[in-house]
Amino acid sequence: MRDIFHQALEDVQARVIEISELVTVSIDKATRAFGKGDVALAEEVIADDKKIDELTRSLDEQAIQLLAMQQPVARDLRVVVTALRVTASLERMGDMAEHIAQLARTRYPERAIPKGLKDTFKRMGELDVEIARELTKLLAAPTAETALPIADAIRNSDDDVDELHAGVFEKVLSDTFQGDSGAVIDATLASRYHERFADHAVSIAKKTVYLHTGAWDADAALDARIHAEAPPV
């Protein structure tokens, strides 16, 4: 039988995963709303974001109470500290989904995606959804062995998002781009929101490396792993 403290600790972990699942639903809905100009779906995302905000705030509070009442040590402490350190990023990921939904709503009944950028944003949206799904798996991963490959995958997808983000600016600045200033603003902001969404996932991935390994320099830990696996050049 688990004692009350360990039940509370499991509850903290379960709630981190729950928020990550909600963020996944939000970014999935937001990118579909943005792609199709679906204002009802956009409204859902905007409403759901309030719930994500509330859940992250209450999780923070629970984590700090655990610190205060139970004074956890070793891995237990790392679980609580990691929860505290990732909630802000999860909350921001929810905000990015909400911002994308806002763009869809503002432009309705037009579509928010400027001409010539449909495929790019479709792919960025898919990558963000994929990253959110991987993030939930990562947060549920019980060991470093299961977590590290997922963290790698998130970093790789983030690189792809960064490339698409750079491509948006290239397209907008090219002679063939036909949009007006409003289209340029939409493209710039939407691309930035998609890119930041992925960045926050990478930031969380780094923090879960610490959770599992206690290694502070997650970059070095992940880089060492990637270099060890890369074929010789």
The token pair at 181 is 């200033």
Minimal distance, residue 162 CB to a copy of itself, in Å: 14
Q: Which of 233, 232, 209, 204 is nearest to 220 (CA)?
A: 209
Determine if 13 is a binding residue for a copy of itself (CB under 8 A).
Answer: no
Determine if 54 is a binding residue for a copy of itself (CB under 8 A).
Answer: no
Determine if 47 is a binding residue for a copy of itself (CB under 8 A).
Answer: no
Minimal distance, residue 180 CB to a copy of itself, in Å: 8
Cis peptide before 232 (omega within 30 of 0): no
3-state DSSP helix/strand/coil % of the chain, to nearest 5: 85, 0, 15
Integer distance in angstroms from the first to the last C-alpha of the chain? 53
Determine if 71 is a binding residue for a copy of itself (CB under 8 A).
Answer: yes
Which residues have CB under 8 Å from 58's CB, separation 6+?
A: none
Tell me if 41 sits within 8 A of 32, measured CB to CB: yes
> What's the rounded Cα separation, in Å, for the pair 201 and 184?
26
Determine if 10 is a binding residue for a copy of itself (CB under 8 A).
Answer: no
Binding mask 193-222 for a copy of itself (x = CB under 8 A): -----------------------x------
- Among positions 136-195, residues that touch a copy of itself (CB under 8 A) are 169, 172-173, 177, 181-182, 184-185, 188-189, 192
Site for a copy of itself, rule CB under 8 A: 57, 60-61, 64, 67-68, 71, 73-74, 77, 81, 84-85, 88-89, 169, 172-173, 177, 181-182, 184-185, 188-189, 192, 216
